[in-house]
Chain A
Amino acid sequence: MRSLKVVSILTGLLAIAACATQETQQPVARPDVKFGKPIAAADLAPWNIDVRTPDGVGLPAGRGTVAEGKTVYEAKCTVCHGVDAKGGPVYGTMVGGIGSFKTNTRVLTPGSMYPYAPILFDYINRAMPMDKPQSLSANEVYAVSAYILNLNGLIPDSAVMDQNSLVKVQMPNRDGFIIDDRPDTQAVRCMTNCK
C-alpha cells in the first residue's frame, strides 16, 4: 500500500517533469571545472583593437593629417564611397546631414550621427576597407578619420589627429541619444467595436 503510494507520487512527478517548459526546469549549475588557458596581455594584443569611444581608451599611438587622409582615401575608399566621400557606386554620402534629424529626410553620416569622433577610428580600423579590413596602419586610420571629419566641417585643414586630439573633437550629435525608455505604447486589448 505504502509502496503503491510512493509509485503513484513518483509517476505524478514524472508527468509534471514531462510537461515542464524550459523555464520551469532546474537551472543548470556551473560545473566545477575550468578549461580556459591563461593568456598574457601581450599575447592577445593583436586582437585587442577596440576603442571605448567616449573617452578614447584603446586608441593607439600614431598620427595622421587631413592631407594624408585624402591620399589614403583616394587610393582605398573612393571606389565604393565616391569622390570627396559624397557617395559612390556602392554607398551613400559620408558628408553632411547635420541638422537633418528633425526632418523626415534624415541624412546619417559620420559627421551628423557619430556622438564621439573615436568611433571613426574604431570602425575604419576594424572594418575598412571592406575587401581588406585590418590592413591599414594606425597612422592611415588617423589620417582617414581626419579627412572625413574635415569634409564634414568639424576640424580645420591643418588638423592632426592622434590619440589626444581625436577625443577632443566636438561632434554635433554628442547629446543626441536617449537610453531606451520603452514600452512607449499603451495599446488596449479592445475586442468589439474598436477604433
Chain B
Amino acid sequence: MRQKIGVDSALTDDGLHARRAVVPAATDPTEDSGRRQFLRRGTMLAGGALAGGMGLARAAPLDVPESNKGFGKPIAENDYGMPSKFESKVKRRRTDILKNRQNFSDWSMTPLQDQLGTVTPNGLIYERHHNGTPDIDPATHKLVIHGMVRQPLEFSMADLMRYPSVSKFYFMECSGNGLTDWLKPASTTVQQTHGLLSAGQWTGIPVAWLLDEAGLEPGASWALFEGGDGSGHVRSLPMKKLLDDCLLVYALNGEMLRPENGYPLRLFVPGWEGNVSVKWLRRIKVGDKPWHTRGETARYTDPMPDGKWRQFSFEMECKSVVTRPSGGMTITPGMQEIQGFAWSGNGKIKAVDVTLDGGKNWQGAVLEGPVMDMSLTRFRYRWDWKGGPATIASRAVDSTGYVQPTVQDIQKSRAIVGFVQHHNGVFPWSVNANGEVKNAIA
C-alpha cells in the first residue's frame, strides 16, 4: 500500500520542480509569469474601478498609517499569542444543518475556507465528542495495558514522555464528514460540508513499543482502546494496523494536545476514521477478537441497499475538495487560483484534476509538496474566469490508483439516503454570472 520513493515523490519532494513537472500545459507554467499576469490584471481592475475602465488609473495618495506613528503593543511578561482581532470570524462552528439538542455528543467543524496551508491551527482542529471535553490533570492521568499480555502495565504521563518520540504529519477526518450533503445542497460553506477534517504534526510514541513491552500473548489480534471521558468511548482495532503505524499521541503541532483533542493522551490511527483515534486514552485491552461495542455496530457503520450494515469500514478513502472559491464566496472576473485539499487514508495523493464545466472536462492541477502519506496535499489551478456560469470541482487519485468517485458512483453500491457516513464523493461548487459560489451537490 505504501509507495516507496519513486518518480512521483522524487518530483514532488521539491515543490518548484513538482510545479513545473505536473502543471497542465494549457495554463501558464511558471510562478513568476503568473504573478506578473496577476499583478497586471489586478492593476487593470483597480484602474477600471477608479477610472470607469479607461486604461490605468493611479492609486490614491498615501497617508502614513497610525501603526507607523507610535508605540506598538508591548511584549507581555507571559502570554499565549492569539490571532489578530481582524481574524475573529475564523472559528470552529457547529453545523447549521443537523442541530443536536445538546452540546455534549456533538461536533464542531474546521473553517477550511480560511485554512491557507496543510496544517490546521490547534484552536481550529475539528471536534467530535460523545460526552463533552473532560478536564484531565496529566499528573494523575494513567494508561493501563492489560488483557492478552504477559505483564499488565500502568504508565503515567511522565513515564510515557520519557520514551523517544516520533512526529508525523497526518490528516484526521470524521467518518461523518459530508453527511448532510449527499444528494442535494444543504450546507452553505466548505466548513459545513467538509470541516470534519483537520491535519497537523502528531507527536508521541508507537503503540507497538508499549504492546511489545507488555508482551503480546500468542493469538493476540485485536485491542480495545477506551477513553477517560464521560462516554468511556471505546473502539476495537486490529493488531496488524496497531503494530504498523499507530501512535500514542500527546502533542500536536509542537505543543501538548488541546483538551478537546484528547489532552493529555490519545490514540492516533493514521488514515482511518477519526473516532477510532480514541481521545483521553486511559486503557488498552488486548484480545483475540473485536468487542462489537455500540460504536462499532449501531454507530459508525454504513447502510447497504439490502438492509445490511458495513462494519469496520475504517479507511477514509481518497477525497478532495475545492476550498477557494467555495460556497458563500463571491468572485470577480479574471484570474482565480482554484485551491483545495486532497487526501487519502490509503496512501499518497498522486494527482488532482479540476473541472470547470461540472465534470465534462478535467485538467490536471498542480500539487504542492511535500506530498506525504495520509496527509493533506494542497492543489492549485489557475483559472481565468470570464464571467459566465461555471461548475467547479476537484477529483483526486491516490497512490493505489483509486480515483475519487462521484456520489452517483457511490450510490451504485451503497444506500446513501439518511444519516450516512463515508462520503468521499466529488463535490461541485456552482458559480453564477454574478460570481456567487454555491453548493452544487446533486
Contact = CB atoms under 8 A, between A and B. Distances in A.
Interface in A180-195: 180-195
A113 B151 contact: no
Given A28-B164, A39-B152, A181-B310, A110 B298 contact: yes
A49 B405 CA distance: 41
B105, B131, B160, B232 interface centre (most CB from chain A within 10 Å): B232
Contacts of A90: 101-102
A119 interface: yes
Say what secondary structure dominates the interface of chain B: loop
A68 interface: no
B334 to A, nearest CB: 25
Which among A36, A52, A122 has the highest number of chain B CB atoms within 10 Å?
A: A36
B39 to A, nearest CB: 31
A70 B214 CA distance: 44
Given A38-B152, A114-B298, A194-B360, A21 B371 contact: yes
B131 A133 contact: yes
B313 A180 contact: yes
A185 B410 contact: yes
A48 B163 contact: no
Interface string B53-72: 00000000000000000000
Given A114-B298, A183-B402, A133 B289 contact: no
Interface residues of B, number: 94
Contacts of B153: 36-39
A116 interface: yes
Most chain B beta-carbon neighbours within 10 Å: one of A184, A190, A195? A184
Interface string B148-192: 000111110001101110101100000000000000000000000
A2 interface: no
B78 interface: no
Interface string B392-409: 000101000011111001
B212 interface: yes
A189 B353 contact: yes
A23 B373 contact: yes
Q: Which of B153, B226, B293, B409 has the most CB of A within 10 A?
A: B293
B324 interface: no
Interface stretch (A123-131, A145-153, A158-166): A123-131
A161 B3 CA distance: 52
B372 A35 contact: no
A39 B146 contact: yes
A36 B213 contact: yes
A104 B417 contact: yes
Nearest to B403: A187
Contact of B298 (A35, A50, A113, A192): A113
B438 interface: no
Nearest to A40: B152
Nearest to B295: A123
Contacts of A108: 298
B308 A47 contact: no
Interface in A58-109: 80, 89-91, 101-102, 104-106, 108
Interface stretch (B203-211, B260-268, B427-435): B203-211
Contacts of A195: 359-360
B412 A185 contact: yes
A180 B312 contact: yes
Nearest to B131: A130
Interface in A1-56: 19-24, 28, 30-31, 33-41, 44, 47-54
A144 B61 CA distance: 76
B370 interface: yes
Given A53-B293, A90-B102, A130-B230, A39 B144 contact: yes
Given A21-B370, A123-B294, A191 B353 contact: yes
Contact of B292 (A49, A116, A183): A116
13 contacts: A21-B13, A30-B209, A35-B163, A36-B155, A50-B234, A102-B305, A110-B298, A114-B294, A130-B105, A134-B232, A189-B395, A189-B397, A194-B359
Interface of A: 19-24, 28, 30-31, 33-41, 44, 47-54, 80, 89-91, 101-102, 104-106, 108, 110, 113-116, 119, 122-123, 126-127, 130, 133-134, 173, 176-195
Given A21-B9, A185-B405, 5 more contacts: A36-B213, A48-B285, A127-B131, A179-B310, A190-B362
Question: Lowest 6 CB-CB distances: which A-B pairs, in order?
Answer: A36-B153, A126-B232, A185-B405, A101-B307, A102-B307, A187-B403
